[in-house]
Amino acid sequence: MQIYPDYPQRHPFFAQGIGMALAESGRLEEGLPYLRMAAKSRPKAPVIKYNLGLALLQRNAWREAEEWLREAIATDPDYIRAYVALSTSLRKQGRPEEALEAAGRAIRIDTHAASARVERALALEEFDRVAEAIEEYERAAQITRDPSVEQKILELRRKVRGQRSEVEDQKAP
């Protein structure tokens, strides 16, 4: 199939589709120009900005992903998935406090957003607030049947038990 050179520019959702298809097939670098073109052509389309932000997360371009995700949120302040992705970006940049706030905002919009609860738990772990992280994972587990959430709860509980036994060993004569 031949694509006319100006077709993606005139049809941003088509450009987004090409960009996402390339990114999902492992050709992220080829897909990014299409996603950028789509985002610039449709400045009021939060889903395009969100998808560009996700693609940039795959590339580990945390700061640029943050910019596009913030633009998606500015366009749609209730865009839960954009807040969750923003939290990931912030956490990866070593900014767990802001990550907690972004994930918390998603939860305030929808208390049943399991992905937001998991992301918030990950940020809590970065603060070494393990007990709170376990609680957040448990809330997520009530919403979703994702076995990885249950596994994470078990891992953190083992970690807490291990820390307790180390402390007890240190106190023993």
- Give dist(CA 28, CA 60) in Å, integer: 11
Q: In terms of pLDDT, which residue wins out, 169 or 115?
A: 115
pLDDT in tens, 109-122: 999 999 999 999 99
CA distances from 128 to 52, 100, 124, 125, 131 (A): 31, 13, 6, 5, 9
Average pLDDT over residues 120-128: 92
Local confidence band at 8 (pLDDT 50, 70, 90 cut-offs): low
Helical segments of 93-146, H only: 96-109, 114-126, 130-143
Determine the pLDDT at residue 1: 42
Secondary-structure class of domain 78-146 per CATH: mainly alpha
What's the predicted TM-score (pTM) here? 0.84
- Give dist(CA 123, CA 99) in Å, integer: 6
Local confidence band at 76 (pLDDT 50, 70, 90 cut-offs): very high
What's the mean pLDDT when you consider all of the chain?
A: 88
- Give dist(CA 59, CA 67) in Å, integer: 14
CB 121 within 8 A of CB 140: yes
List the domain boundaries for the chain.
1-65, 78-146
Residues in the chain: 173
Ranges 6-10, 21-25, 38-42, 131-135: which has the least confidence: 6-10
pLDDT in tens, 48-67: 999 999 999 999 999 999 99
